[in-house]
């Protein structure tokens, strides 16, 4: 068995451990150990990957393994990773780890919560290590279903509505995907569903014309592509903290990753021809999300719309179809994953204390919650692209990359996308100024206690990751840049 499968196995073992756990202590032990293991595992994988590349292994995918799973349809369980998957695995592990600590005292039904939580992470991990189209799709579905229960049971506010809406819209997207994937398989005439086998064939251009939009929108829905993004604000607003973190932090990345790996990689001609339509849509996402965030009053809505804007930038950059912009897109996925998880963690912690998420009902929290306050400011600064934090590197790579496209259409869109750095500053500073600064208005807020140790673990880990990515981006950006190349070669065909 290939050791990449450990990423799926460890959460599965965690689930077993949870089955037999009898009290909260044991649950905490199982989840914390499992999450730590996953962190170590992805650290080791990253190290192995980099050493392998350093000794000159230039294969597209490393550590590959392949087992026939369902012969009649040539479905294989095939795994393998490149620099992009490594980056995504790292991200997932960090978010899963911090999510566990952020829901340390989850109530009620901690056991069931974590069971679904682990199933969700199985889906995500499996998606990132798979190279078989059908297995990818399968894992994708595995990641979606637990979401419904996690929000519906442990959520807050209009949770049934939010859960239903989120699941239905994402399911709608995956219906398009299924058609797209089957279409790709049959049209390519490949002998297996392996991505790299299919990439060797050429899908007829007429087929690409309808398969590209199907798959791009299918994944785009998850990446909050305008106008299919409306599940995001409602879904996030009602989701419990750790689920928001995992969902915005990792699950939305499945969209960008899939669009990149499936839609663009397999259908390069259509990507060239049709990119402009989606560039307009994503360009709208970027600015529209940011403008919507300015007037929201609920912290989670602000962050959800901000995600629309930031994830819009991911898809926007992918569609620029050049190496720099695509590298930037992957960096932006990482960066957005980390900082949005940090935001949702902090919002959850603040909500747990003040019992409100409305910025009009909070003020002066910096005085009573210095740790959470400072962390919120750091998250905000990362989001508005302060150098030395992750957002800056990602955005700059995207902008420089996008600027390599010389025609007026791309230029104008790039400049429009650039304006988001100003709008982001507006809504971030508005929130920080309203809830953290000033004088405390609400009497009850005067006696709040600052973060507990497990909350601190979660927050500090995320901040450290944001800082590392922002201050020492060279290794990760090189790793991603190399792995983007096959797609570029494919596009040049």
Coil, helix or strand for 70? strand
Interface with other proteins in residues 254-293 (CB under 8 A): 288, 291-292
Query: Which residue blocks in 319-446 are alpha helix, DSSP H?
Result: 323-354, 365-368, 370-383, 390-402, 408-418, 420-431
**419 belongs to the binding site for other proteins (CB under 8 A):** yes
Among 269, 438, 454, 456, binds other proteins (CB under 8 A): 438
Stretch that binds other proteins, among 9-17, 83-91, 257-265, 435-443 (CB under 8 A): 435-443
CA distances in angstroms from 392 to 328, 466, 472, listed in the order given: 10, 11, 12
**Shortest distance, position 230 Cβ to other proteins, whole Å:** 4
**Shortest distance, position 31 Cβ to other proteins, whole Å:** 30
Is 205 or 415 the residue whose CB approaches other proteins more closely? 415
DSSP per position, 396-426: HHHHHHHTT--SHHHHHHHHHHHTHHHHHHH
E strand map for 62-161: 62-70, 75-81
Specify whether the CB–CB gap between 46 and 33 falls below 8 A: no
**3 belongs to the binding site for other proteins (CB under 8 A):** no
State the burial class of residue 440 (Cβ atoms within 10 Å of its Cβ: 0-12, 13-18, 19+). Answer: middle
**Shortest distance, position 231 Cβ to other proteins, whole Å:** 8
Q: Going by DSSP bridges, is the β-strand pair 75-81/62-70 parallel, antiparallel, or unpaired?
A: antiparallel
Q: Name the CA radius of gyration of the chain, rounded.
A: 21
Among 29, 415, 446, 489, binds other proteins (CB under 8 A): 415
**Shortest distance, position 295 Cβ to other proteins, whole Å:** 5
Specify whether the CB–CB gap between 215 and 176 falls below 8 A: yes
CA quadruple 357, 360, 362, 365: dihedral sign: positive
Among 21, 390, 477, 483, binds other proteins (CB under 8 A): 477
Specify whether the CB–CB gap between 216 and 298 falls below 8 A: no
Backbone angles phi, psi at 195, to 5 degrees: -50, -45
Interface with other proteins in residues 195-234 (CB under 8 A): 227, 230-231, 234
**425 belongs to the binding site for other proteins (CB under 8 A):** yes
Among 92, 121, 414, 483, binds other proteins (CB under 8 A): 414
Annotate each residue in 332-371 with x if it binds other proteins (CB under 8 A) or - if it does not, as one string.
--------------------------------x-xx----
Please list the residues that pair with 76 across neighbouring strands: 68
> H-helix or E-strand containing 310?
helix 299-318
Annotate each residue in 294-323 with x if it binds other proteins (CB under 8 A) or - if it does not, as one string.
xxx--------------------------x
**Shortest distance, position 59 Cβ to other proteins, whole Å:** 23
Count, residues near other proteins per rule CB under 8 A: 54
Among 478, 486, 490, 491, binds other proteins (CB under 8 A): 478
Among 179, 418, 468, 488, binds other proteins (CB under 8 A): 418
Residues that bind other proteins (CB under 8 A): 165, 168-169, 227, 230-231, 234, 288, 291-292, 294-296, 323-324, 364, 366-367, 381, 384-388, 392-393, 396-397, 399-401, 403-404, 406, 414-415, 418-419, 421-422, 425-426, 429-430, 433, 436-439, 473-474, 477-478, 481
């Amino acid at each position: 068995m290939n050791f990449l499968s450990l990423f799926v196995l460890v959460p599965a073992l965690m689930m077993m451990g949870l089955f037999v756990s009898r009290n909260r202590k044991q649950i905490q032990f199982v989840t914390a150990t499992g999450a730590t293991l996953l962190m170590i595992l992805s650290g080791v994988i990253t190290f192995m990957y980099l050493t392998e590349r350093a000794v000159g292994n230039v294969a597209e995918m490393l550590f590959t393994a392949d087992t026939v799973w369902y012969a009649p349809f040539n479905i294989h369980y095939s795994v393998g990773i490149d620099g992009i998957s490594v980056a995504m695995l790292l991200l997932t592990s960090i978010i899963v780890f911090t999510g566990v600590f952020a829901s340390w005292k989850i109530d009620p039904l901690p056991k069931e919560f974590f069971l679904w939580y682990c199933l969700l992470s199985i889906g995500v991990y499996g998606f990132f290590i798979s190279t078989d189209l059908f297995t990818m799709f399968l894992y994708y579905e595995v990641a979606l279903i637990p979401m419904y229960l996690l929000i519906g049971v442990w959520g807050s506010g209009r949770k049934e509505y939010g859960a239903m809406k989120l699941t239905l819209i994402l399911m709608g997207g995956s219906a398009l995907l299924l058609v797209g994937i089957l279409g790709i398989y049959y049209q390519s005439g490949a002998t297996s569903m392996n991505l790299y086998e299919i990439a060797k064939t050429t899908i007829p251009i007429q087929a690409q014309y309808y398969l590209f939009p199907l798959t791009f929108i299918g994944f785009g829905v998850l990446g909050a592509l305008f106008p299919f993004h409306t599940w995001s604000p409602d879904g996030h607003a009602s989701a419990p903290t750790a689920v928001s973190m995992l969902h915005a932090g990792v699950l939305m990345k499945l969209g960008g990753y899939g669009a990149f790996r499936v839609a663009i990689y397999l259908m390069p001609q259509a990507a060239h021809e049709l990119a402009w339509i989606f560039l307009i849509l994503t360009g709208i996402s970027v600015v529209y999300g940011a403008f919507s965030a300015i007037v929201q009053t609920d912290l989670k809505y602000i962050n959800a719309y901000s995600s629309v804007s930031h994830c819009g930038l991911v898809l926007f950059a992918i569609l620029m179809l050049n190496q720099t912009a695509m590298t930037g897109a992957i960096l932006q996925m990482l960066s957005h994953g980390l900082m949005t998880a940090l935001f949702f963690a902090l919002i959850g912690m603040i909500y747990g204390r003040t019992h409100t998420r409305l910025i009009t009902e909070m003020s002066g929290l910096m005085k009573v919650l210095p740790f959470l306050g400072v962390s919120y400011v750091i998250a905000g600064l990362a989001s508005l692209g302060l150098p030395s934090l992750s957002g800056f590197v990602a955005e700059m790579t995207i902008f420089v990359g996008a600027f390599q496209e010389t025609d007026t259409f791309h230029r104008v869109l790039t400049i429009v996308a650039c304006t988001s750095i100003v709008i982001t500053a507006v809504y971030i500073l508005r929130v920080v100024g309203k809830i953290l600064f000033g004088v405390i208005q609400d009497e009850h807020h005067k006696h709040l206690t600052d973060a507990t140790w497990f909350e601190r673990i979660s927050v500090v880990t995320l901040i450290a990751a944001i800082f590392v990515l922002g201050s020492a981006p060279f290794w990760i950006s090189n790793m991603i840049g190399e792995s983007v190349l096959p797609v570029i070669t494919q596009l040049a065909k």
